[in-house]
Amino acid sequence: MSVLTRRALPTALVAPFVLLLAGCGPVEVAEPELASAPACTRVAKHWPDTVADQERVETDPKGPAMHAWGDPPIIARCGMPALGPTEQQCIDVSGVDWVAEELSDGTRMTTFGRDPALEVIVPEEYGPAPLLLPAFEEAAKELPTNELSCS
């Protein structure tokens, strides 16, 4: 084996590892405009430990109103503006109404009839997003209701 080959081989083995580590940092999450609302402080006490068997991962910025689980990350943010009347798909999961919005790579679920709102973004790798919503039931029920509902 030549000197050039011996030097190139370690570089070839290390390069994929460096790329793998690049994805291991905190999940970048935009802080919602109402993240400091008292209701979000209450929500923060009820974030699930795991979602779809995925452990919590760090977010950037860090804050009680934002959490993420797994890779690719399932992201939840409290402090979103309350949704107004809508014709989008609306479902009730364990007494909490949610509006579903299909994204190119998953689904955004937003509480409906809650102010402020809770948003959960579920990558398509986890299957149907509504199946993950029971994990957020306790947190979502901490949000004050408004006059809107699915029915």
User: pLDDT tens across 107-139, in order?
Assistant: 999 999 999 999 999 999 999 999 999 999 999
Residues of the chain where predicted confidence (pLDDT) is lower than 50: 1-22
Say if residues 143 and 117 touch (Cβ distance below 8 Å).
yes
pTM above 0.75, yes or no: yes
The pLDDT of residue 25 is 86
Whole-angstrom distance, CA of residue 72 vs CA of residue 145: 31
Which of 125, 130, 138 shows the shortest CA–CA distance to 48? 138
pLDDT at 81: 97
Question: In the chain, what is the straight-line distance between the N-terminal and C-terminal CA atoms, in Å?
Answer: 73
User: Rounded CA gap, 114 and 140, in Å?
Assistant: 8
- What pLDDT is recorded for position 151? 80
Counting beta carbons within 10 angstroms of the beta carbon of residue 24, is it exposed (0 to 12), middle (13 to 18) or buried (19 or more)?
exposed
Q: What is the pLDDT of residue 13?
A: 33
CA distance 132 to 120: 9
Q: What is the model's pLDDT at position 17?
A: 28
**How long, in residues, is the chain?**
151
